[in-house]
Structure 1
């Protein structure tokens, strides 16, 4: 367990040995589901995974904010004695890893930005995302909508999340199976954490200050996209253009979790970048 400076216990683990990379899972409010991605990086990498504050196996204790999330990530880095490390962030975790790098560039050797949504305001892509989400759900959209708009039991929370997560996979025939695996074991979403951090993000995304900070960032970045992600990949274009040391890998036939649907392509791109 990692103990933060305000006394909150965070679950964390290490897999493998070699050059360090700290993973940041998506959400906000979810837990680490990146074990398969960690196993793909082979025996040259020590992967550090953790559950963010209030999520999964970590203590359910606020406050929930972007600044607090960055401080907790720094606590994980210091707990494992990593003076400098690579970061890999997925979805919301990609944004967290980017913001941490902007604020602590001396601590980050490389950044892998997986399935993020860039630095423009969400209004530029969210309408298309909602359309794509409903289209991907197909016949399941009615049940998803019923669960979305009412107070749910814990069992219904899981069902709702499995349905929503199923839309994140390009291979429709196996989408529910993949989503069920993500939800097993079910560690419960922290909706308060999700609401607080998303509200904060909506006030800061798309600002000139964020773009300027990215333009000045002198850290190598690999952007990894699943070509079939229902979040429009054009959302990431402005980030790619802003970063002076960015490269990009687009994995065909993969959705929001590209390591699941193109494990070989993901491993080749990420391991090649980390060990370059």
Structure 2
């Protein structure tokens, strides 16, 4: 697939913080642009391959969230409300009236929060490898247990992971390797996630994860999702080490929802089933 030239730019949020963003592709006239929200929190955009899959079908916008990657270093604030406002600044910068919004992992939660806050600006939501809207207890303990079990398949790798400092690139690669079903290629895939490498924003990660513990499972969140009047596609890798049953809470709440589960994929389904992932997203973009 021939890559489409990217146009990198700086988006200024309403509090003056500068955010890195990139636009590629054109699509056909009248195609709704696709905006991608990366995971984390505290990481950066890793969606180059996804943009390459889809930017022949629609304009695709990627961005680095506040305080991470190529965006300006800053002291926050680290709240979902602030990140929703940043995402809207990205939308306005590119003069996008309505968007198809795709979020992965933490980015799926951010994309859902944006759709709940601004449903008139979202044509469709693609929720990839999220963890639902129930309490953290629905998934987090099993995720940690499964993560250690995957690392423990290679005792030397587990021991090395334990001795490395938290900010180490090598430690992140070992940690991210657990996300892939194909264990022979897991390190290769994780190395690609870490190229380019930027410092992980741990204060951001800690603050947003703490916020999520308070909002997940609340009656207000369930009610808001039940009232969300736009089409939502949930995409799961069946072999994600986060229990997919956690996402059932969101699926039950949404009035317009379709779910695609890719059987041979883990947490990054576009890596391990690119054709299945692309087909599912294109269907959502044109529904």
Please report the RMSD computed on the Cα atoms of aligned residues, expressed in angstroms. Answer: 1.0
1:146 to partner: Cα distance: 2.8
Query: Where does residue 206 of structure 2 map in the other structure?
Result: 195
Out of 215, 240, 244, the position equivalent to 1:204 is 215
CA deviations on 1:6-47 (whole Å, 9 max, x unpaired) are 100000011101330110000000000011011111512111
In structure 2, how many angstroms separate the alpha carbons of the residues matched to 1:30 and 1:188? 8
Aligned residues: 270
In structure 1, how many angstroms separate the alpha carbons of the residues matched to 2:118 and 2:15? 20
Higher helix share: 1
Map 1:38-49 onto structure 2 (within 5 A). Answer: 38-49=51-62
Please state if 1:54 is matched with 2:67.
yes
In structure 1, how many angstroms separate the alpha carbons of the residues matched to 2:222 and 2:42? 26
Name the TM-score, length of structure 1 as normaliser.
0.96
CA contact (8 A) 2:139 2:243 kept: yes
Query: Where does residue 252 of structure 2 map in the other structure?
Result: 241
Query: Where does residue 83 of structure 1 map in the other structure?
Result: 97
Map 1:67-216 onto structure 2 (within 5 A). Answer: 67-137=81-151, 138-139=153-154, 140-147=157-164, 151-152=165-166, 154=167, 157-216=168-227
In structure 2, how many angstroms separate the alpha carbons of the residues matched to 1:15 and 1:135? 39
What residue ranges of structure 2 are gaps of 5+ in the alignment? 1-9
1:185 to partner: Cα distance: 1.4
CA deviations on 1:84-135 (whole Å, 9 max, x unpaired) are 1110000000000001100100110000000000000111211111111011
In structure 2, how many angstroms separate the alpha carbons of the residues matched to 1:261 and 1:116? 17
In structure 1, how many angstroms separate the alpha carbons of the residues matched to 2:204 and 2:191? 22
Query: Where does residue 7 of structure 1 map in the other structure?
Result: 16
In structure 2, how many angstroms separate the alpha carbons of the residues matched to 1:51 and 1:75? 12
CA deviations on 1:124-176 (whole Å, 9 max, x unpaired) are 211111111011112222222333xxx55x5xx21111111000011110000
For the residue of structure 1 that corresponds to 2:125, the secondary structure is: strand
CA contact (8 A) 2:236 2:244 kept: yes
Name the TM-score, length of structure 2 as normaliser.
0.92
Give the ranges of 4+ consecutive aligned residues of structure 1 lying more than 4 Å apart after TM superposition: none
1:275 to partner: Cα distance: 1.2
In structure 1, how many angstroms separate the alpha carbons of the residues matched to 2:261 and 2:70? 32
In structure 2, how many angstroms separate the alpha carbons of the residues matched to 1:59 and 1:196? 18
